[in-house]
Structure 1
Amino acid sequence: MNPTNDKPVVLLVDDVAANIQLVANFLNDQYRIKVATEGKKSLQLAVTEPIPDLILLDIEMPVMDGYEVCRALKQDAETADIPIIFVTAKDDDAEEELGLELGAVDYITKPLRPAIVRARVNAHITLKQQRDQLQKMALIDQLTHLYNRHYLIETAPLKIANAIRHESPLCMVMIDIDFFKSVNDLYGHDKGDKVLQAVAGVIKANTRQGDIAARLGGEEFLLLLDHCDIEAAISKIEFIRNAIEELKPEGINVTASFGVTKLMDHDDDFDSFYKRADKAVYLAKDNGRNRIEIS
């Protein structure tokens, strides 16, 4: 793995290339740098991988100034939590108050001093990482290390809205381990937990960064496959189905049933999408288990 890929990402937004180069020189030894020279482009980069961990935002820009950019970022659920530091030549209490009211976490005035820029960026990156870690602990299933139901409920509507806005395919997959109660009854809950962990490992190994893999509870899992049409989803799930069948964790034969559906034009919320996937997995179980059904 390239160690630079582990560095936090800072998005620099300024219409003056020399200013961007100056700040980049202060930061590029510790951070990956993304660059935008106008407001509209910065909004695109804020939702493009790698997602920035922090944005350094100039206020005085043509067409769309920094305040407008900040408003747009804070109104979008995908970018609302990215910390913003305003960078400006304006040294005025009213201007600083406005920036903080809009949701910025800090305000740096020009001329820029390298030590100050680095210290402010380091502090807010650290705070964000700590906040992200606490949130992750609250939203991860402790047994399988997949996301939990709370994370799914919080994130799925954002995935759906994003897919609708960009007209990109999105598929949902319900997964139910077959006869799992019998596994617990015959082998005990400790081995049942090992089975859940092994199945979760297969699921996690076959999902991409933009996908969501969650444990709903018990022996039920759910996948949201981003930018994935139904044909690609079925191909991926057939691979996962085979891999689970071949697992034999703790020497136990394990299979799973799968229900697959795609986001439809009339899906404007999570419930209708979820109900189709749930219906499909029940159909898979009714039709003999260890199979895929589509709804």
Structure 2
Amino acid sequence: MQPELKEIRGMVEEKILIVDDNAEVLEKTTELLTQVGYKVICKASGEEALDYLNENAVDLVLLDINMPDMNGYEVCLRIRQRYALDDLPVVFLTSREDSDSVTKGFQSGASDFVSKSAVPEILLARVNVHIRLARSLRNLRDISLTDDMTGCFNRRHGVFSLREWFSRSKRYGTQFAVIYFDLNSLKATNDKYGHQAGDLLLRSVSSTVKNMLRETDLLFRMGGDEFMVICPETDKKGAIVCAERMQKAVSEITIVDKQASFAYGIAHSSEDYKEMDDMLHSADVSMYKMKQEMRKK
């Protein structure tokens, strides 16, 4: 079996978060998963797991039900406030196999159940199936929802994602921020140096901004020279800090003799917009005001 495990180790890159207050279970499961090449992160409580997910992306969560302070059902519900069922598989790894527990688990947003008494091959098989399925769905979404020029998500996905986050915020009180920004002088660059230079500007800016963002943040090209960033679990002050860092990083880009820059506007879920379009319009208006001020300088 060992040669097969070595072959798999070279292929697997996914990251799995295990949440269990039992140190023996964490050690045993970690050993099993790392043996076939998965990267494993262990957390002993629901709070620790949620804090980790606020700043880091994973490909699958293995979650115990019986934990102090916050049980697995509550943790799963909190995860589903941020991640759709297709985006992040959550598999309960538990000793509770009665019908009520299983039903409650699926109602809380679980993708599957695996018994702690199951043989290792069953756990590996379930994990592999859910990770492959999630990977396939991501690939399909990337093809249909990605901007060819920049590699960012496109406007279609931007509107869909904003609507989803807006709905979550209204339902669960989840906070998030929108940063809407518009590049300066793209048309002038195209007119003076040709579209090849303008395309290079778009790709350079989008790549720089992506590198500045957290793994959980989302970057969209909304059309032409306009972009949008959705920042989950972010207050307005944090969004301003993020936008200013983006501006500083982009200012270091020079295409021919043009220094890159952009104007931005911010809208936050705490501002109690009635409709998603109101939130997007607010960010757009703020961005336009900044652009006017920049033109005066």
TM-score, normalised with respect to structure 2: 0.70
- Deviation per CA, 1:211-233, whole angstroms, max 9, x where unpaired? 43321101222344656547635
Give the whole-Å Cα distance in 2 for the aligned partners of 1:231 and 1:103. Answer: 33
Q: Is 1:261 matched with 2:266?
A: yes
Shift of 1:193: 3.0
What residue in structure 2 maps to residue 137 of structure 1? 143
Q: Is contact 1:140-1:148 (8 Å) kept?
A: yes
Give the whole-Å Cα distance in 2 for the aligned partners of 1:64 and 1:230. Answer: 29
What residue in structure 2 maps to residue 175 of structure 1? 182
Of residues 231, 236, 245, the one that matches 1:236 is 245
Question: Larger Rg: 1 or 2?
Answer: 1
Give the whole-Å Cα distance in 2 for the aligned partners of 1:289 and 1:174. Answer: 15
> Please, which runs of 5 or more residues in structure 1 have no aligned partner?
none
**Letter paired with 2:289:** L
Please give the secondary structure, in 2, of the residue aligned with 1:141. coil
**Letter paired with 2:255:** L
Q: Is contact 1:258-1:290 (8 Å) kept?
A: no
Q: In terms of mean alpha carbon deviation, does 25-34 or 201-210 score higher? A: 201-210
Please give the secondary structure, in 2, of the residue aligned with 1:209. coil
Q: Is contact 2:50-2:79 (8 Å) kept?
A: no
What residue in structure 2 maps to residue 108 of structure 1? 114
Q: Is 1:31 matched with 2:38?
A: yes
Cα pair distance change 1:106/1:204, threshold 3 Å: closer
- Deviation per CA, 1:127-182, whole angstroms, max 9, x where unpaired? 222222222333321111122223322334638949x95778x46242133261x5
Give the whole-Å Cα distance in 1 for the aligned partners of 2:89 and 2:249. Answer: 38
TM-score, normalised with respect to structure 1: 0.71
Of residues 275, 279, 289, the one that matches 2:285 is 279
Q: Is contact 1:214-1:223 (8 Å) kept?
A: yes
**Letter paired with 2:125:** A
CA-atom RMSD, angstroms? 4.1
What residue in structure 2 maps to residue 21 of structure 1? 27
Shift of 1:21: 2.4
Of residues 247, 251, 267, the one that matches 2:255 is 247
What residue in structure 2 maps to residue 87 of structure 1? 93
What residue in structure 2 maps to residue 58 of structure 1? 64
Q: In terms of mean alpha carbon deviation, does 191-200 or 23-32 score higher? A: 191-200
Identical amino acids, percent of aligned pairs: 24
Give the whole-Å Cα distance in 2 for the aligned partners of 1:106 and 1:224. Answer: 29
Q: Is 1:76 matched with 2:81?
A: yes
**Letter paired with 1:259:** Y
Cα pair distance change 1:290/1:143, threshold 3 Å: farther
Cα pair distance change 1:116/1:45, threshold 3 Å: farther
Cα pair distance change 1:113/1:266, threshold 3 Å: same
**Letter paired with 1:279:** V
Shift of 1:26: 1.3
Q: Is contact 1:172-1:274 (8 Å) kept?
A: no
